[in-house]
A and B are shown apart, each in its own frame.
Chain A
Amino acid sequence: MLSAAPPGRVALVRGGQAEVKLEVRLRPGYHVNSHAPAEDYLIPLRLSWEPRPFQILEVNYPKPALEKYQFADKPLSVFSGAFTILTRLKAPENAPRGPGVLLGKLRYQACTDRLCLPPKTLEVRLSYEIR
């Protein structure tokens, strides 16, 4: 239903910043609610990361589409097809040097225009090196 290519390895110095791209792809016919859904009963898309060793500066989602479905009175804020989520992170001055893997979670809930699948969480692994 939804797949995400592992983000490319990042290398940064203590005190430095890096940008991480998570490329997401949805099966044709399906959409996921955006990070800011139009209705409060809808489950938003959310990318979160472990709190250490990096400071997560921001997670930027692309601009969603407003799509009208037969089951909703108003257009819904959704993503479909392929899209990219950007994360900016910073290595603290006292971050331990060396390689590691940062774990993230992409929470989503997908529907077609007729049915919905349960919310799911996809684990994301970011390989990094702090120099």
Chain B
Amino acid sequence: MFPAFRRALGLHAAALSLMLWACSTPSSSAPDSVKPESQRRRAPDFALRDADGKLVRLSDYRGKVVLLNFWATWCGPCKLEIPWFIEFERQHKDKGFAVLGVSMDEDGWEVVKPFIRRLGVNYRILMGDDEVARLYGGVDALPTSFLIDRQGRVASVHVGLVSRRSYERDLAELLGDSPDGARRAVDSGDGAVVAGAR
């Protein structure tokens, strides 16, 4: 097989796998939206440009908990979540946490830059494309957010607007602020010391 074709097959298989895994994720409003470690799949790496034109890779954030949020300026539910994410960034950045917003605006930076300026967005915004949407299982509905653990694995997925409390619960667990994290580490049976273990 040609290398490019082999790579394309691999990418599609990864996207399909992530989509199937996401569909099996419990309802985002359920208490256990963070998957046990043994069930977390690797978050596909990507390279997208930020508002300064710099190329940013997800792998640059290895070792941090990342909230990867797909959004658009025309999406009302997305707009409601943004102030929450601004607060999360402010509260948790010193604990090894980052929000990455991936804009799916077809009109590009011309509409996104004034929008994020007006809302006072304090986290990195990247310009998305069809490829990154495909890598993450075909992101169509917005907002869609992936919580990625320090090992670069997808720990939970939220499709559509969920409560702020849902995010706070997930973050507390992944950042090691919650007793649930310790319980999950024990349940995964790996015996390793992980974030949240007490």
Indicate if A117 sits at the interface (CB-CB under 8 A). yes
Question: Which of the residues A42, A71, A119 comes within 8 Å of B161, measured between beta carbons?
Answer: A71
A41 and B76 CA atoms in complex are apart in Å by: 9
Indicate if A112 sits at the interface (CB-CB under 8 A). yes
The answer to whether B140 touches A111, judged by C-beta atoms less than 8 angstroms apart, is no
The answer to whether B79 touches A116, judged by C-beta atoms less than 8 angstroms apart, is no
A41 and B115 CA atoms in complex are apart in Å by: 9
The answer to whether A118 touches B140, judged by C-beta atoms less than 8 angstroms apart, is yes
- A42 — which chain B residues lie within 8 A by C-beta? 74, 76
A102 and B79 CA atoms in complex are apart in Å by: 38
Indicate if B127 sits at the interface (CB-CB under 8 A). no
The answer to whether A116 touches B77, judged by C-beta atoms less than 8 angstroms apart, is yes
User: Shortest Cβ distance from B109 into chain A, in angstroms?
Assistant: 15
Which applies to chain B's interface (DSSP): helix, strand, loop or mixed?
loop
A117 and B80 CA atoms in complex are apart in Å by: 16
Which applies to chain A's interface (DSSP): helix, strand, loop or mixed?
loop
Indicate if B143 sits at the interface (CB-CB under 8 A). yes
Residues of A in contact (CB 8 Å), total 19
Q: Give the residue name and chain of the B residue nearest to A111 (CB).
A: B76
Chain A 55-93 near chain B by CB (<8 Å), digits 1 or 0: 000000000000001111000100000000000000000
Q: Quick one: which of A69, A70, A111, A118 has the most chain B CB within 10 A?
A: A118
- A113 — which chain B residues lie within 8 A by C-beta? 161
Q: Give the residue name and chain of the B residue nearest to A73 (CB).
A: B80
Question: Which of the residues B72, B74, B106, B161 comes within 8 Å of A114, measured between beta carbons?
Answer: B161
The answer to whether A76 touches B76, judged by C-beta atoms less than 8 angstroms apart, is yes
The A-contacting residues of B in range 96-136, CB under 8 angstroms, are 104, 106, 115
The answer to whether A116 touches B80, judged by C-beta atoms less than 8 angstroms apart, is no
14 A-B pairs (CB sep. < 8 Å): A41-B74, A43-B74, A70-B161, A71-B79, A71-B161, A109-B74, A112-B160, A114-B160, A115-B143, A116-B74, A116-B78, A118-B72, A118-B104, A118-B140
A residues lining the B interface (CB < 8 Å): 39, 41-43, 69-72, 76, 109, 111-119
- List 19 additional A-B contacts (Cβ < 8 Å) besides A70-B80, A71-B77, A76-B76: A41-B74, A42-B76, A71-B80, A111-B75, A111-B76, A111-B77, A114-B160, A115-B143, A115-B159, A115-B161, A116-B78, A116-B141, A117-B140, A117-B141, A118-B72, A118-B106, A118-B140, A118-B142, A119-B106
4 closest A-B pairs by beta carbon, nearest first, are A115-B160, A114-B160, A71-B77, A116-B75
